[in-house]
Amino acid sequence: MSITEKKLTWTYDDKSIEGFKLDRKKGDEAWQEAYQTFAKETRSWNDTEVIPDPDLTYSYRIYAYAGRNISSQQSISASAELASPTGLEFTINSITSVTLSWEYNITGYDGFKIDRKVNEGAWEMGFATVNSDTTFTQNGLDLNNNVYYFRVYAYYNIYESLKTENLVTLKCGYPFTDSRDGTEYETVQIGEQCWMKENLAFLPSVSDPDNGSQTSPYYYVYGYEGTIVTEAKTTANYQTYGVLYNWPASLTACPQGWSLPSDDEWTILTDYLGGSSVAGGKMKEAGTTHWNSPNTGATNSSGFSGLPGGYRSYGGSFNSLGDYGGWWSSSGISSTCAWGRYLAYGYEDVGRNDYYKGCGFSVRCLRDN
């Protein structure tokens, strides 16, 4: 149907009539009586002289007639505003490109306009114009670090439809690149949560294991006893297991858009995987490439890909590489301790423990909602 049309339909069962008459009214104007006359077999009519002005209302009343006799009237009113596009969806082509698509079953419009907003910034009105296609590809995006909002609406002459809105954010399962150092992380959807499936490797500085604090940030690489970041990053342990953080460092280690999971958020994960008594096997990388034998119950069916990165003890030593992987939560318990989770080579459960904040454990980031 055209953008300048309105379709009316009606029912009537009495076959003794001569036909139908229709009155029409536009906005506040007077009724145009007997604007149209129809044969008695007619049950629909298209008004092809509609101006798609959202401030206009078109009113109709139809009645049957036979000679001088007329039936009671059926009345209806309808706004003249342009129909809005429907079904606005997006397809992520890459972390820099997205294609919007929508549906529009009306003809005669001039095209579509698109507004855009980045994060909580201002709307860019009329950011793009599409003449007839119901798709639009936007390149040059940074989906790693931004959420994009798009609104699509039809236009005809000076008139515009209501706007259909959707937001575009990087779907879980796409790699994420940390803009701070260029490190790329795989991601995995587990239930309603989006996790990094690798240990965080952000390393702004590095300390030898003999030095530490419960209140100031410290960063460690298992087995490395120097203080040179570039040197620490060349080690096999850094490249496989990432960084060990004390608790103060872990709180601010995750990149923008991601956070250190709370104790409750870890529980949401393990509950989704069937409870802490069995979730560990589903979270551990399978096999013995990194885990020591027997790596009990390990299937990695969740895709979490937990690794045994060991830990830095409160006393200043590295321990349990291959046997044990531990991860901080953001939930403190006291001035000296915070909650964490651990996986072990000989068990299929997930352990929950309180750790001294000066210890060094791995970090897994959880994407913000």
Three-class SS of residue 182?
coil
CATH number of 86-168: 2.60.40.10
Write out the H or E segment, with its range, that includes residue 347.
Answer: none
Question: In sequence order, which ranges of the chain are alpha helices (DSSP H)?
Answer: 229-232, 236-241, 247-251, 263-272, 276-283
Residue 267 has what pLDDT? 98
Residue 193 has what pLDDT? 96
Residue 252 to residue 315: CA distance in whole angstroms: 23
Which two tokens mark 117?
A: 């907003």
Cα–Cα distances (Å) from 185 to 36, 200, 221, 354, 366, in that order, read: 68, 8, 18, 28, 12
Cα–Cα distances (Å) from 250 to 7, 64, 92, 179, 237, in that order, read: 63, 78, 31, 18, 18
Q: Which residue has the tokens 């919007």?
A: 100
Phi, psi for residue 254 in degrees, rounded to 5: -70, 150
Residue 260 to residue 266: CA distance in whole angstroms: 10
Residue 145 has what pLDDT? 81
Q: Are 20 and 38 in contact (CB under 8 A)?
A: yes
Domain limits of the chain?
Answer: 6-79, 86-168, 176-367
Q: Which residue has the tokens 């990087």?
A: 170
Per-residue pLDDT of the chain (369 residues; tens, 9 = 90+): 788 899 999 999 998 999 999 999 999 999 999 999 999 999 999 999 999 998 899 999 999 999 999 999 999 999 888 889 999 999 989 889 999 999 999 899 999 999 999 999 999 999 999 998 999 999 999 888 889 999 999 999 999 999 999 999 888 998 888 989 999 999 999 999 999 999 999 999 999 999 999 999 999 999 999 999 999 999 999 999 999 999 999 999 999 889 999 999 999 999 999 999 999 999 999 999 999 999 999 999 999 999 999 999 999 999 999 999 999 999 999 999 999 999 999 999 999 999 999 999 999 999 987
Write out the H or E segment, with its range, that includes residue 197.
Answer: none
Residue type for 246, please?
Answer: N
Phi, psi for residue 138 in degrees, rounded to 5: -110, 120
Residue 339 has what pLDDT? 98
Residue 311 to residue 326: CA distance in whole angstroms: 7
Residue 257 has what pLDDT? 86
Residue 358 to residue 313: CA distance in whole angstroms: 8
Q: Are 318 and 211 in contact (CB under 8 A)?
A: no
Q: What is the DSSP string of 248-272?
A: HHHHTTSPTTEEPPPHHHHHHHHHH
Residue 95 has what pLDDT? 84
**Domain spanning 6-79, CATH architecture:** Sandwich (2.60)
Three-class SS of residue 277?
helix
Q: Which residue has the tokens 């007997």?
A: 34
Residue 94 has what pLDDT? 85
Residue 20 pairs with which residues in a beta bridge? 38, 64
Residue 186 to residue 106: CA distance in whole angstroms: 43
* 253 burial via Cβ count (<10 Å: 0-12, 13-18, 19+): buried
Which two tokens mark 23?
A: 């009155």
